[in-house]
Amino acid sequence: MNNLHLTNSLTNKKEIFNPINKDNVTLYACGPTVYDNPHVGNARALVVFDVLFRILIELYGEKKVSYVRNITDIDDKIIEASKIKKISISDLTKSVTEKFHKDCKVLFCLNPTKEPKATDHVAGMINTTNKLIEKNAAYEKEGHVFFAVASFKKYGKLSNKNPDDLKAGARVEVSKLKKDPLDFVLWKPSDKNDPGWDSPWGRGRPGWHLECSVMSEKYLGKNFDIHGGGLDLIFPHHENEIAQSCVYNGTDKFANYWVHNGFVTMNKEKMSKSLGNITTIEDATKKYTGQVVRLSLLSAQYKQPLDWNNELLTEQSKTLDKWYSMYSSEVSEKTPNCFNDLLDDMNTPLYISKLHELFQESQKGNKDKKKEFNKACRLIGLFNESAEKRAEYKKSKVKISKDNILSKIKDREEAKKAGNYKLADQIRDDLNEEGIDIKDEKGKTIWNYK
C-alpha cells in the first residue's frame, strides 16, 4: 500500500486520500477549550493527529504540509470556570494554554504549522455572521444571531441524522428566540462583566461553532483536505461548521475528509470532565514518562475506544524499557516497510506489532534492522530522547531514595522467606506506587524506574 487510506466520517468508508494540492496538504484539528487542564481523553486526539501530521510529512515533505490546531480562548465554559475559580479570564486562559503546551512537549507532539486563538479572529467572525444574515441564512433576535439550518439542505449528512428527528433530540438547545429548534448561535450578547466585542447586534461574543469555521478558512482556505477531532464533536460542532461554512462560501464542500478518534474510557465509561472520571496528562506523566503515555494512546486503533488503566501503562512501560536497549542515533534513510500499516487508516496496533518484530531482528545483531527499528519508532513520535536522558527522566520522577528502595526490597525478601506473602505483595505494590517496577528473576529481585 503506497497511498494513505483514511476512514472518512462523511461517507463512513475507508477512502484513498487524494489531496487538493500535493504541494500544500492541509489538516485542521480542533484544539482545546482552555478552561481546565487537559486530560488523557484530550491527549488522544492530540497524539492521533500528531501521528497523522507525521505521516503526511513522511509522504509529502515537511514544507508541503499545513497543520492548523486552534485554541478556543472564549467560551461559556471559560467564563463559568473563571467565576468559580475567582480569577480573571485572561489569567485562566493563559495558565491553561501554558499547561497545554507543556503537555504537548511531554507527549513529544510536533508544533502545528499555525495555532490561532479565537480571540484574535473575532473581527472575521463578525464579518462572517454579517454575510450570513445578508444571504438570509441567519437572523438576529434580541442581540442573538442564529444560523438558519433550513438554509443548508445537506444538514445532518456528517452525523447521519435526520433533521426532523433531531428537532425532538435532547442535545439541541431549546430557545424561544429561535425560529427553528435546530438553529444554532453565531453571536450572543455579553453581560457587562463578561468578555465582549462591539458588533452590529450589540456588545457580545461569537458562538463556538463559528470560531473553527473562521480560523480554518483563514489559514487553509474555503475547501481543505482533512478536518479532525474527537468522536463527540461530530454533532453538533462539526455538523454546524459544515453548514455555516458551505452557505457562507457558496460551496458544497468544506473539508474533503473528516477523521474522528474514539473515546478514552475508564471502566468502560467515557472519560470526561462532566462525569468527573478524568486523569489529567500531568497526573499520568507523574508515574510514567510521556513516551509511555503516548505509546499507550497508540495501542488501540484510533477509531476504537481505549480503556485507560494501570495494566496498560505498565505493559507499555515494559515495552519501552525493552525497546530502548536497541536505541541508536543512527536511523535508516529509507522509510520502513511497516509504514504501510500507518497508511492503512493509521493502524497503529499492527504497526506496533511490526516494531516488536524489528526489535527482535535488531537483537540478533542485524545493523540494518536496528536502523530501521529506530526510524520506525521515531515515525510515531518515540525515541525522541536518548536512552540516558530517558533513564534520568524516569529517575527524576521518583521521590523515594535508592537506599530506601533497597531497604524495602530486603524487607520484602525477608517477608517471603517467612511465608508472609501478603506483606511481600504489599511492599511490591507500595514500590509500584512510588514509580519502581519490581521483578523476580531466578531467585533475585530486579528493580527499575518505571
The segment(s) of the chain belonging to CATH 3.40.50.620 are 18-261
Are the C-beta atoms of residues 225 and 255 closer than 8 Å to each other?
yes
Q: pLDDT value at position 170?
A: 40
Nearest in space to 339 (alpha carbons), one of 108, 48, 58, 67:
58
> Could you tell me what percent of the chain has a pLDDT over 90?
77
3-state helix, strand, coil in the chain (%, to 5): 45, 15, 35
Are the C-beta atoms of residues 430 and 409 closer than 8 Å to each other?
no
Beta-carbon count within 10 A of 430 CB: 14
CATH fold of 18-261 reads: Rossmann fold (3.40.50)
pLDDT digits (tens, 9 = 90+) for 197-218: 999 999 999 999 999 999 999 9
The position carrying cell 454575510 is 131
C-alpha 374/C-alpha 325 separation (Å) is 11
Please provide the DSSP assignment of 247-260 as one string. HHHT-S-SEEEEEE
Nearest in space to 382 (alpha carbons), one of 350, 357, 348:
348
C-alpha 360/C-alpha 153 separation (Å) is 55
Task: Determine if the peptide bond prior to 236 is cis (ω within 30°).
Answer: yes
**Residue 384: pLDDT above 70?**
yes
C-alpha 248/C-alpha 251 separation (Å) is 8
Does an H or E element contain 407, and which?
A: helix 402-417
C-alpha 91/C-alpha 87 separation (Å) is 7
Between strands 306-307 and 264-266, the pairing is parallel
pLDDT digits (tens, 9 = 90+) for 245-259: 999 999 999 999 999
The position carrying cell 506496533 is 352
pLDDT digits (tens, 9 = 90+) for 426-438: 988 888 888 788 8
Ranges of H-type helices in 135-207: 163-166
